[in-house]
Structure 1
Amino acid sequence: MAFLGEFGGVIWNVLAFVVALSIIVTVHEYGHYIIGRLSGIKAEVFSVGFGPKLISRRDKHGTLWQVAALPLGGYVRFLGDANAASAGSEAVDPALVRQTLGGAPLWARFATVAAGPIFNFILSIAVFAGMAFWQGTPVEDVQIGRIHALPESQTNELKSGDVVLGIGDAPVATWADLGKAAEAVPAASVQQWHVRRDGAELTVAGPDPFPAVVGGIAPRSAAAAAGLEAGDVILSIDGTPVTRFVELRDKVGAAEGRPVLLQVWRPGAGVAEYTLAAREQDLPTATGFERRWLIGVTGGSFFDPATRPTGPGEALGTGVTRTWDIIGSSITGLWATVTGQISSCNIGGAISIAETTGQAASAGGANFIWWIAVLSTAIGFLNLLPVPVLDGGHLVFFTYEAIARRPASERVMSILNVIGLALVLSLMVFGLSNDLFCR
């Protein structure tokens, strides 16, 4: 039964990965296709998947749209391309040379190649903006929205709609003040909350501002492997009661990878125990990176903030900001890995991506869509790296052509493409080895 369960998990991960990859690659290739078509370049085939075609149809522009048997990506084959990778060229009627990728003006080639990664970023921005629009924006007052379930042992007289004015002796006027108040008051299972309710100010008993509530589970972490879930409340670690999430972090760090016993309360399921060992990970800081022992849980609150509708412009700004943050962290992480600031085990391969995708899908549709947006940004960024055979490599060749007013020689491009292909394959193998041996 354990084998069947593990096998079923693998199948789920693969299916989720295939769905996510198909969406991301289809958007990427559609970017190449539509900008190429608008630039006067003819696409002969647009394929979702590789290998033998399963279904197909030809549109009024002469492009064959097809779904192929191997759902591991997709491609656009332009007129004159020798293969699906657009590597090499075939002879075409001289009258049709302008409709080929190689025979198009430099601006058209540059725009067509750049469109793939750009469309990946557009997908990410659209998803993040849509989620911000759907979820709303916290109101300026520290107002309590939905209250999550807590163990019966934790007193909570707070109600949805309460506006928090203070905790203990610490005043609260903004969301930043809430964090400051949590640091100012001693950790305790019961705190005195000063709130405004229905126009009246009163003091009620409530939990610690940031109890040991699990807000999220990191993929491929000790917590994910043990079976912890978002919404769990950690009651104790190695028999010592835990009141505040920061206490959990400190005790896990002090164990330095030694297995710890967590007593956990789960809504609707009661109390259970989990044994897990933290893993060392590199975390970004304001000045660089630091290595810490982590079990892979993020802290949460026992309530959601009350929200107001998010305007379209505000949601779009959120989408752009989140996409740019992912690009920035990718650049920082890549540079830190290359320079040896952090472990090379931070580079994952297909297995880790598939596992993460499966866990995101298991966590719900919103998490899966969010992860697709993250992956889309990452794939767009990777494709812009100045490596031959990637889109970024082609853009470098085009830039050279614009400056030198002549294309690079076929011999030089062939050599660089071989080197680029070797680099990409080496990175794939390296990532796969990390998936197998870095735990």
Structure 2
Amino acid sequence: MDILSLLPQFGGLIWTLLAFVVALSVIVAIHEYGHYIVGRWTGIKADVFSLGFGPVLWSRPDKHGTRWQIAALPFGGYVKFAGDANAASGKDEAAMAAVADDPEAKRHTMHGAPLWARTLTVAAGPVFNFALSIIIFFAVALTVGVARDPLTVGEMRPLPNAAQGLQSGDEIAGINGVTTPSMDDEEAYNAFIEGIPQQQVLNYDVVRDGTALSVDGPYLLPPLVNQVVPQSAAYQAGLKSGDVVTGVDGEPIFAFQQLKTAVEASDGKALQLNVWRAGESLEFTMIPKSTDEPQPDGSFVKNLRIGIAGGMAFEAATTAPGLGEALWGGVANTWRIIDGSLSGLKQMIVGNISTCNLSGPVGIAQTSGAMASQGAQSFIYFIAVLSTAVGLLNLFPIPALDGGHLVFYAYEAVAGKPPSDGALRVLMTVGVSLVLMLMVFALGNDLFCP
């Protein structure tokens, strides 16, 4: 065996693992810091803040008596509060017995603190995950900006054999005689885009340096690869951002819709794609995959896809949004992920979509590496999406997760007393078993789903 031939795969594996560890470490650190800092604010003492599990590689105590540590297995973390027996916040009977006659010391334990303090401390982990997502989306919006209105050419993308009458700074007043609507009117703008005739050369009415002109330009939505979906047919075949598909099974194309139509009509059979990449002509073979796609009404529709996102023939010029607009966009994006995740879970439970949509650690690691390879912005955006998913998962009412503890606290608020220690032990065992079963099931999806 040629050992050198394994180096690219080995390098790819290392890159994937590194990206996964970085993404997970950031998300876990934020989640656990939420528990820690709110616990401290509400008077609950933290004994240990650990990033990772297993043997301790580094540790340092702080002035508050908390030992901060990094452990050898970087696939999670925990905060162990005073009175906890373990990372899952099970009660340490001996520790609680030792402070039973000391109200002040008992008040600073997780199990002796008031109900409101425990509730805020437990809820803080998921809330900090959501806050991280909002902050990332907010920062991306401020950094990248939003498309300028009216639609304005930022920079032309390199396209093969394209009419290049457009220039940077041109304001698109109309296309083929149809006036461009404001992008604030999403419905009208989408209708305008869909109504553009499929012609390889379009006539653009533009305003250039204050002068109205009519120029020829490329079809607005060419078969351009703007982004590749991780683990998709296109990703596995080797398509890259910036590629332009010029033909499918020998038939030339110039519009993204033509590529989409060909993929949907493939009946899952292999497609031969001619691709232009920075002046070089390449050929790729790929088999479209059935994909469950969410609809506006919350339902899902199966479609054949190769896993690419398209874009316009030019990069739209952007403008910086206001702080309020950017913040609202961050909140809206985070809510959209939560809503889509809950809708997808519901559809999986009722059997409308495949359970293969549920990824496990291998799938998440592969996606981490794929997004990191597409640039820092894509990777940071992925961290925001994953942070929301982790926060939502932890709110599920499963014992051992934050949501399970919140259910116990809700019971305590109604009944006036917490569940018995015996009942808690049984429920926690059931919860841990459910979490392990879910992890095994998701791992099976990673290994056996197409």
- TM class by shorter chain equals over 0.9
Pair 183,75 (structure 1): closer, same or farther in 2 beyond 3 Å: closer
Give the match for residue 89 of structure 1: 92
Give the match for residue 167 of structure 1: 175
Contact 2:150 2:173 (8 Å CA) reproduced: no
TM-score normalised to the size of structure 2?
0.94
Q: What secondary structure does 1:203 align onto?
A: strand
The Cα shift of 1:183 comes to: 3.2
Give the match for residue 380 of structure 2: 369
Q: Which moved more, 1:95-104 or 1:371-380?
A: 95-104
Q: What secondary structure does 1:150 align onto?
A: coil
The Cα shift of 1:17 comes to: 0.5
Matched, 1:402 2:413: yes
Matched, 1:132 2:135: no
Q: What secondary structure does 2:396 align onto?
A: coil
Give the match for residue 363 of structure 2: 352
- Runs of 4+ aligned residues of structure 1 deviating over 4 Å after TM superposition are 176-179
**2:80 aligns with one of 77, 80, 93:** 77
Task: State the distance in 1 between where 2:443 and 2:72 align.
Answer: 24
The Cα shift of 1:336 comes to: 0.6
Give the match for residue 28 of structure 1: 31
Identity %: 49
**1:253 aligns with one of 249, 261, 264:** 264
Q: Which moved more, 1:183-192 or 1:337-346?
A: 183-192
* Equivalent position amino acid for 1:105 in 2: P
Contact 1:169 1:185 (8 Å CA) reproduced: no
Task: State the distance in 2 between where 1:69 and 1:15 align.
Answer: 14
Q: Which moved more, 1:304-313 or 1:83-92?
A: 83-92
Task: State the distance in 1 between where 2:413 and 2:447 align.
Answer: 44
* Equivalent position amino acid for 1:167 in 2: I
Q: What secondary structure does 2:368 align onto?
A: helix
Q: What secondary structure does 1:407 align onto?
A: coil
Matched, 1:53 2:53: no
**Cα shift readout 1:25-78 (whole Å, capped 9, x = no counterpart):** 010000000000111110011111122222221111011111122212211111
Give the match for residue 439 of structure 2: 428
Give the match for residue 121 of structure 2: 112
Task: State the distance in 1 between where 2:8 and 2:268 align.
Answer: 27
Q: What secondary structure does 2:110 align onto?
A: coil
Contact 2:166 2:217 (8 Å CA) reproduced: yes
1:123-272 equivalence runs, <5 A: 123-151=132-160, 153-175=161-183, 179-267=190-278, 270-272=280-282
Matched, 1:37 2:40: yes
The Cα shift of 1:180 comes to: 3.5
Give the match for residue 328 of structure 1: 339
Contact 2:60 2:68 (8 Å CA) reproduced: yes
Contact 1:170 1:184 (8 Å CA) reproduced: no
Q: Which moved more, 1:82-91 or 1:290-299?
A: 82-91
Task: State the distance in 2 between where 1:71 and 1:290 align.
Answer: 37
TM-score normalised to the size of structure 1?
0.97
Number of positions where the alignment pairs a residue of Structure 1 with one of Structure 2: 437
Task: State the distance in 2 between where 1:387 and 1:81 align.
Answer: 19
Task: State the distance in 2 between where 1:245 and 1:351 align.
Answer: 32
Task: State the distance in 2 between where 1:103 and 1:260 align.
Answer: 64
Task: State the distance in 2 between where 1:40 and 1:185 align.
Answer: 62
Contact 2:91 2:111 (8 Å CA) reproduced: no
**Cα shift readout 1:304-333 (whole Å, capped 9, x = no counterpart):** 222222222211111111011100001100
Q: What secondary structure does 1:255 align onto?
A: coil
Pair 85,209 (structure 1): closer, same or farther in 2 beyond 3 Å: same
Task: State the distance in 1 between where 2:162 and 2:45 align.
Answer: 66
Q: What secondary structure does 2:325 align onto?
A: helix
Give the match for residue 290 of structure 2: 280
Q: Which moved more, 1:315-324 or 1:169-178?
A: 169-178
The Cα shift of 1:3 comes to: 3.4
Task: State the distance in 1 between where 2:428 and 2:85 align.
Answer: 15
**Cα shift readout 1:312-357 (whole Å, capped 9, x = no counterpart):** 2211111111011100001100101001111111111111000000
Pair 278,358 (structure 1): closer, same or farther in 2 beyond 3 Å: same
Q: What secondary structure does 1:68 align onto?
A: strand
Q: What secondary structure does 1:91 align onto?
A: helix
Matched, 1:298 2:315: no
Give the match for residue 66 of structure 2: 63
Q: Which moved more, 1:49-58 or 1:124-133?
A: 49-58
**Cα shift readout 1:266-317 (whole Å, capped 9, x = no counterpart):** 23x5221110000111101134111111100111112122222222221111
The Cα shift of 1:84 comes to: 2.5
Q: Which moved more, 1:351-360 or 1:8-17?
A: 8-17
Task: State the distance in 1 between where 2:309 and 2:428 align.
Answer: 43
Q: For structure 2, list consecutive stretches of 5 or more residues without a partner in the other structure.
A: none
Contact 1:257 1:293 (8 Å CA) reproduced: yes
* Equivalent position amino acid for 2:123 in 1: A
Task: State the distance in 2 between where 1:276 and 1:109 align.
Answer: 53
The Cα shift of 1:182 comes to: 4.1
Q: What secondary structure does 2:52 align onto?
A: strand
Contact 2:225 2:311 (8 Å CA) reproduced: yes
Task: State the distance in 2 between where 1:62 and 1:146 align.
Answer: 56
Q: Which moved more, 1:319-328 or 1:61-70?
A: 61-70
* Equivalent position amino acid for 1:83 in 2: N
